[in-house]
Chain A
Amino acid sequence: MLFNSVEFWFFLPIVWLVYFVWPLKSRWVWLLFASYYFYSFWKLEFAGLMLFTSFLDWFAAKQIDKSDIKWKRLSWLWIAILSDIGMLFLFKYFNFALGDSNLAKSMYQSQWTAWIIELGKYTIPAGISFYTFQSISYVVDVYRGDETPEKSLPKFLLYVSFFPQLVAGPIERFGKLHSQLFTNYSPKWEDVRNGLRLLIFGLFLKVAIADNLAGVVDEFYANPSKYNLLSTWVSAFLFTFQVYLDFFGYSLLAQGAALLFGIHLMDNFNKPFLAKSIPEFWHRWHISLSTWFRDYVFIPVGGNKRGPVVLAFAVMLVFFTSGLWHGANITMIYFGLSQGFLYLFDRFIFKNIQIQSVVWERFKQVKTGLFFMITLVFFRSGTIEQAKLVYKQMLGSNLGIENIQVGLLIWLFLIVGVVLDNNIMKERADSWLGKLPTYVRWSLYIFFIGSIAMFGGAVNHPFVYFQF
């Protein structure tokens, strides 16, 4: 079930109403039931897979906690990590790794293994990358002694499957989510009101802006070579905001849905296009994933404390893995690596240029946004050949003559969304809306509702990050 589906908008109020009449102490049981229903609505088999992964991590963490012998603790840690990664590999990367090899062909010939090829080729269990990372963070934290393991399996299952953040994050840490899920806190009107505000603004960003942009970008990428120079750049620009508003909108919807139950999820975005360098950009973009990589990959391999060579290695490793995390495609690896190189360029070279000027500060912001926009071509292209073609066109060769058609309304929505987010809202949307005079706030609500209902994007697109 996706947040931009009719089913979800029936599901959410029902779950919410039952939650309120449910006995306070065991409300989490209802949330667990609802979360598994939410996930299995999409495919029942995948709920079983999530259950299995969660059980394994819960059990491994218990064994780690029980033992004082280092090798035993380490063995359980690696059993958990390897089984999580193995599962991820099987469903997400197996086909990519096999390619058109004979093994792939013979697996497809067999009645017993053909389904693995089919599944990996065409469908990935929703949110597998998100909940796997969330689950891994728990086991590692227990191993490090940062968390005490959860004794109750059902409670751990809820931590992994809590429906607002299940399919596309934010990737929450055990301590933060656990302390909220099981404290018998009953949501206040303030929580509910803020939750509703985030829901409406998130839906506006996703349905009215990102989905409309998706229609234009899809049209360009269906046949890039027929478009001219300006259209190529415009499509790259629009895709940048499609990805951003799609995922930012989704994150707000997740936060809004969780707030209805009194749960505060972390902010996943913090005005990334105001960043003045790529390192800063990644502190503001998909924050839950960036911090995950920082804590579980970057710091363990050396971080920034062991000199520039180790730092460069750690950065490239993080971005390579992050690229691969985004999708089993060579283009995603290129995307990750290009981000890594730009990160190092900004970290070691660009950082040393110090000019005290407002113009320079603005230039740095534009440069960072531009760098990101250009590398996103890898992210959007289906193949390296297509990415090369688009880059060539951006440089002025192999151009077609057609103009990309972007409706006036799409520009209007985009400007409203971006200006609101970057320039007007100095805090999160719910707090900002709450401080406005009632008539202004309701005028904005009417605008959001009208835009969603009358002009929502018609293209058949799930959330961009849903596929990860």
Chain B
Amino acid sequence: MKTIIKNVVSRLILVLVILIGFNVLYKKEFYDADVQKYSRVKSRIDSAFQYGDIVYLGESSNTSYNPWTDTLKESISDFLQLYLPGKRIEAVTHESYHPGLFRQMLNLHPNNRGLFEFMAMHQDQTIVLGVNIRTCGPTAVFSGNEASNQQEALFYSKRPSLLTRLFMSLKYYDHRDALEMERLKFQWWRSVDISGKGMDTFRISNKYKTAKRWIDDLASDQRPELPVQVKNMADAYVKEFAFLLDDNNVRVQDLKEIVEICNKLSVNLIFHILPPNIHHTEGLFGNQLKQYLDYNYWFLKKRFANWGVTVVDNYNLPEANEKVSRFTDQWYPTEHYDAAVRKAIAKSLVPVIVEEKSQLKDIFPKRNNEPNFSIKMPYSDSLIGVWRRLKRLN
């Protein structure tokens, strides 16, 4: 017994020495290529944290634009840079990113001391993080892309590089495949109660106990006069927005952790709540679906206040919902805005970032800063009107 343990331990030590040697070799020769191949945003994060006065962390809402109607392509962070020429704005943006990934990105912050670093840096910095309510819902949480996002996020760490590489080979990340995520999503829609029963501070009124019943009901409506495009859209809106946040929600927990980490790193943090497509939500279902958006917004605001984090509240941003065409995706719920909204969001951030209000000067880019409405697009408004009439919504 003792001999066996002795032999095993001596060999383990030898293997450990070999691995340390390989770590040096890997870091020197192969690591950078692997970062390029498997985690393309990582170097962007490093440079953003290194050089930015303000780091904007966002998903596709930051950069999306409509190639036909947007005459300005600037992202929210670009507009912010125009508003604040004296500050260096760095943005880290990627489709389908969410607070869980932003939380991991903070591992790379220079103020965070790595395993083999003697002391951390101190850098005054403001992090602006876009809070997208939709990413807290089951469709986003159980997205089939999550495994690849999490694989990329393995590199958002200051651990020895070889360990990261080994973790990638041994799938040491949330690697649930698309099928398993699909099952969890369906399970969620089928089993999670969305009737709001037992809630004392916020009243939800809905005849459907679960999202699945709602979805099934929509699918069973076989009236041929109901516009198919809008039917599909209604299905998507229910799937994306019919959920109620609570403290067990993984995204809520991530947001809370982000606040704690930023406090620890002495970094200023601003959450800005992105406007959802309230216009279409109301158009499709009246208040029946909008009440979920309102509840989740109310829930987040309450939590943010408890955590003491600075909030820029754009939930009801007039520019976003006064004309439906300001959302560039007409047939699916996204937070993709045209230039006017992106600019308005950037403008709303400025007073919170700069202390001197007098510094705020509006910007007037040379090109047309409004969407080009002379280009005809198959906007969904008219079909939503048909849907409303047939569904007899108020």
In the complex, whether A5 has a CB less than 8 A from a CB of chain B is: yes
Cα-based distance from A246 to B209 in the complex (angstroms): 45
Q: Is the CB of A460 within 8 A of B180?
A: no
Task: Tell me the nearest residue of chain A to B34, going by C-beta.
Answer: A458
In the complex, whether B377 has a CB less than 8 A from a CB of chain A is: no
Contact for B166 among A109, A114, A189, A453, CB less than 8 A: A453
In the complex, whether A170 has a CB less than 8 A from a CB of chain B is: no
Task: Tell me the nearest residue of chain B to A446, going by C-beta.
Answer: B18
Minimum CB–CB distance from A229 to chain B (whole Å) comes to 28
In the complex, whether B47 has a CB less than 8 A from a CB of chain A is: no
Instruction: Offer 20 A-B interface pairs, CB within 8 angstroms, sorted by A.
Output: A6-B170, A20-B5, A118-B186, A118-B187, A122-B183, A123-B183, A189-B7, A192-B4, A196-B8, A452-B166, A453-B19, A453-B165, A453-B169, A454-B26, A454-B165, A456-B170, A457-B169, A460-B151, A460-B175, A460-B177
In the complex, whether A144 has a CB less than 8 A from a CB of chain B is: no
In the complex, whether B13 has a CB less than 8 A from a CB of chain A is: no
Q: Which of B12-26 contact A (CB under 8 A)?
A: 15, 18-19, 22, 25-26
Could you say which residues of chain B place their CB within 8 Å of the CB of A114? Answer: 190, 212
Could you say which residues of chain A place their CB within 8 Å of the CB of B187? Answer: 115, 118
Minimum CB–CB distance from A452 to chain B (whole Å) comes to 7
Q: Mark A19-32, 1 if CB is under 8 A from B, else 0.
A: 01000000000000
Q: Is the CB of B186 within 8 A of A456?
A: no
Q: Which residues of B contact A (CB under 8 A)?
A: 1, 3-5, 7-8, 11, 15, 18-19, 22, 25-26, 30, 38, 147-148, 151, 162, 165-172, 175, 177, 179-180, 182-183, 186-187, 190, 212, 216
In the complex, whether A84 has a CB less than 8 A from a CB of chain B is: no
In the complex, whether A211 has a CB less than 8 A from a CB of chain B is: yes
In the complex, whether A426 has a CB less than 8 A from a CB of chain B is: no
Cα-based distance from A193 to B212 in the complex (angstroms): 55
Could you say which residues of chain B place their CB within 8 Å of the CB of A386? Answer: none
Contact for B162 among A2, A119, A453, CB less than 8 A: A453
Cα-based distance from A6 to B172 in the complex (angstroms): 6
Q: Is the CB of B166 within 8 A of A111?
A: no
Overall SS of chain A's interface: helix
Minimum CB–CB distance from A250 to chain B (whole Å) comes to 14
In the complex, whether A121 has a CB less than 8 A from a CB of chain B is: yes
Cα-based distance from A365 to B387 in the complex (angstroms): 67
In the complex, whether A99 has a CB less than 8 A from a CB of chain B is: no
Task: Tell me the nearest residue of chain B to A207, going by C-beta.
Answer: B169
In the complex, whether A381 has a CB less than 8 A from a CB of chain B is: no
Cα-based distance from A453 to B162 in the complex (angstroms): 7
Q: Is the CB of A193 within 8 A of B7?
A: yes
In the complex, whether A400 has a CB less than 8 A from a CB of chain B is: no
Could you say which residues of chain B place their CB within 8 Å of the CB of A453? Answer: 19, 22, 26, 162, 165-166, 169
Cα-based distance from A187 to B3 in the complex (angstroms): 12
Closest 7 CB pairs of A and B: A456-B169, A122-B183, A6-B172, A122-B179, A460-B175, A6-B170, A454-B26
Cα-based distance from A121 to B185 in the complex (angstroms): 13
Q: Is the CB of A456 within 8 A of B147?
A: no
Q: Is the CB of B183 within 8 A of A458?
A: no
Q: Is the CB of B19 within 8 A of A458?
A: no
Cα-based distance from A128 to B199 in the complex (angstroms): 42
Q: Is the CB of A122 within 8 A of B180?
A: yes
Task: Tell me the nearest residue of chain B to A6, going by C-beta.
Answer: B172
Q: Is the CB of A454 within 8 A of B22?
A: yes
In the complex, whether A449 has a CB less than 8 A from a CB of chain B is: yes
Q: Is the CB of A454 within 8 A of B162?
A: yes
Q: Is the CB of B170 within 8 A of A458?
A: no
Cβ-Cβ contact count across A and B, 8 Å cutoff:
89
Could you say which residues of chain A place their CB within 8 Å of the CB of B179? Answer: 122-123
Minimum CB–CB distance from B38 to chain A (whole Å) comes to 6
Cα-based distance from A446 to B17 in the complex (angstroms): 11
Could you say which residues of chain A place their CB within 8 Å of the CB of B19? Answer: 449, 453
In the complex, whether A290 has a CB less than 8 A from a CB of chain B is: no
In the complex, whether A450 has a CB less than 8 A from a CB of chain B is: yes
Cα-based distance from A211 to B170 in the complex (angstroms): 10
Minimum CB–CB distance from B53 to chain A (whole Å) comes to 35
Cα-based distance from A9 to B168 in the complex (angstroms): 14
Q: Is the CB of B177 within 8 A of A458?
A: no
Task: Tell me the nearest residue of chain A to B30, going by C-beta.
Answer: A454
Q: Is the CB of B151 within 8 A of A449?
A: no
Q: Is the CB of A6 within 8 A of B1?
A: no
Q: Is the CB of A458 within 8 A of B7?
A: no
Cα-based distance from A192 to B3 in the complex (angstroms): 11
Cα-based distance from A446 to B187 in the complex (angstroms): 46
Cα-based distance from A123 to B186 in the complex (angstroms): 12
Cα-based distance from A114 to B189 in the complex (angstroms): 11
Could you say which residues of chain B place their CB within 8 Å of the CB of A115? Answer: 187, 190
Q: Which of A106-126 contact B (CB under 8 A)?
A: 109, 111, 114-115, 118-119, 121-123
Task: Tell me the nearest residue of chain B to A111, going by C-beta.
Answer: B190
Task: Tell me the nearest residue of chain B to A454, going by C-beta.
Answer: B26
Contact for B171 among A4, A445, A452, CB less than 8 A: A4
Minimum CB–CB distance from B139 to chain A (whole Å) comes to 16
Task: Tell me the nearest residue of chain A to B179, going by C-beta.
Answer: A122
Could you say which residues of chain A place their CB within 8 Å of the CB of B167? Answer: 6
Q: Is the CB of A456 within 8 A of B180?
A: no
Task: Tell me the nearest residue of chain A to B11, going by C-beta.
Answer: A196
Task: Tell me the nearest residue of chain B to A453, going by C-beta.
Answer: B166
Could you say which residues of chain A place their CB within 8 Å of the CB of B175? Answer: 460
Q: Is the CB of A450 within 8 A of B22?
A: yes
Contact for B183 among A20, A119, A457, CB less than 8 A: A119
Cα-based distance from A452 to B169 in the complex (angstroms): 8
A189-B3 in contact given A446-B18, A450-B22, A458-B151 (Cβ < 8 Å): yes
Given A118-B187, A453-B22, 12 further pairs, Cβ under 8 A: A4-B171, A9-B170, A20-B1, A193-B7, A196-B8, A196-B11, A452-B166, A452-B169, A453-B165, A457-B169, A458-B38, A458-B169
Q: Is the CB of B30 within 8 A of A122?
A: no
Q: Is the CB of A189 within 8 A of B169?
A: no
Could you say which residues of chain A place their CB within 8 Å of the CB of B170? Answer: 4-6, 9, 207, 456
Cα-based distance from A457 to B175 in the complex (angstroms): 14
Task: Tell me the nearest residue of chain A to B23, going by C-beta.
Answer: A453
Could you say which residues of chain A place their CB within 8 Å of the CB of B168? Answer: 456, 458
Minimum CB–CB distance from A121 to chain B (whole Å) comes to 7
Could you say which residues of chain B place their CB within 8 Å of the CB of A193? Answer: 7
A121-B171 in contact given A192-B4, A454-B162, A458-B151 (Cβ < 8 Å): no
Contact for A189 among B4, B22, B148, B216, CB less than 8 A: B4
Minimum CB–CB distance from B138 to chain A (whole Å) comes to 14
